[in-house]
Amino acid sequence: MIEFFLFGTTDIRRDDGADLRALLSQPRPVALLAYLAIAGPRPGAFHRRDTLIGLFWQESGQEQARNNLRKLVHIARRALGDEVIEARGDEELRLAPDLAWCDVVEFETAIARGHHARADELYRGELMPGFYVPGAPVPEFDAWLSSRRMQLAEAAADVAWKLATRSQGERNVTDSARYAIRAARLSLHNERRFKRAIELLIDAGMGGRAIELYNELCRKLAELGLRPDAELRQLIEALRRR
């Protein structure tokens, strides 16, 4: 079994403990494997070679690009085993579903099944933080990775907010506050969610925590030359007066 840990890190492991440092030091094969692991309409989907070529070698000639792809597949198979990357005909590739586990896939599966606590546990940070492919630019891959990062962070924020409201309904003040803060931090661009989190903290009698969260938002917005909206500022001013 090959395990992909892509939240908060970029790590690939074999269950036999084999040393994969040589593979992990090569960003392009790692990028290819990550794409095969988490792209597509469903886990285990096949991907056309032309799509993969367009991600990494958009400006290369067709023959050179296909040769480059074969090299990456060879590097990955040599490290992980020939059976890990499956081919269907000459035009499609995928990770063998029975031989690969990925935290991102597990996260999305948990959400689909309504297992929000499990999903929250799996989201340990941004998707593949700081990852990039040096050398020739790969704008298509970079755009895909950026889009997936935002999508998954927003999904994690939604999960945290569901857990916050559920805990609030169960009168579990501690968990409700913890999840509300997590939801707000995962979606700093969403002032509506920030406001709801602050209101939840105020209702729970945690005015100090609400002000801390507001100050954190102010610092993040200040980096962009922005400030919180008037309604949120008024809410905090009223809280400070009390």
pLDDT number for residue 136: 67
* Residues 168 and 89 occupy one common structural domain: no
CATH number at residue 11: 1.10.10
Claim to verify: residue 24 and residue 108 sit in the same structural domain: yes
Range of the domain at 180: 156-241
Q: Which amino acid is at 22?
A: A
pLDDT of residue 221: 85
Pick the closest to residue 200 from 209, 189, 191 (CA basis).
Answer: 209
Tell me what pLDDT residue 224 has: 82
Both 176 and 107 in a single domain? no
CATH of the domain at 203: 1.25.40.10
**In this structure, are 29 and 80 located in the same domain?**
yes
* Same structural domain, 100 and 178: no
Q: What share of the chain is helix, strand, coil (3-state, %, to 5)?
A: 60, 10, 30
Q: Are residues 94 and 175 in the same domain?
A: no
Q: Is 235 a member of any domain? A: yes
**Per-residue pLDDT tens listing for the chain (242 residues):** 999 999 999 999 998 888 899 999 999 999 999 999 999 777 778 899 888 988 888 766 778 888 889 999 999 999 999 899 998 888 888 999 899 999 999 999 999 999 999 999 999 999 999 998 887 678 899 999 999 999 999 999 999 999 999 998 888 988 999 999 999 989 877 878 888 888 888 888 888 888 888 898 888 888 888 888 888 888 888 888 87
Would you say residue 126 lies in a domain? no
211 within domain boundaries: yes
Residues 6+ apart with CB under 8 A from 232: 191, 194, 195, 198, 214, 217
Within a domain: residue 134? no
Query: In the listed set 116, 140, 175, which residue is the last one of a domain according to the structure?
Result: 116
Compute the distance between CA of residue 135 and CA of residue 36 in angstroms, rounded to an integer. Answer: 21
- 174 belongs to a structural domain: yes
Residue 127 is assigned to a structural domain of this protein: no
8-state DSSP, 7 = B
Counting the structural domains of the chain, the total is 2
Distance CA 3, CA 22 (A): 16
Same domain, 112 and 162: no
- Where is 204: in which H helix or E strand? none
CB-CB neighbours of 208 under 10 Å: 10
144 inside domain: no
CA 69 from centroid of its chain's CA atoms: 25
Residue 32 shares a structural domain with residue 112 = yes
In sign, the C-alpha dihedral spanning 209, 198, 7, 10 is negative
- Bridge partners, 4 (sequence order): 12, 102
- Asked whether residue 132 is assigned to any structural domain, the reply reads no
Residue 41 host element (H or E) = none
Q: Are residues 107 and 160 in the same domain?
A: no
Beta strands per DSSP E along the chain: 2-5, 11-14, 47-48, 85-88, 92-95, 100-102
Contact criterion met (CB below 8 Å) for 89 and 125: no
Alpha-carbon Rg for the chain in angstroms: 22
Residue that is last in its domain, among 116, 137, 172: 116
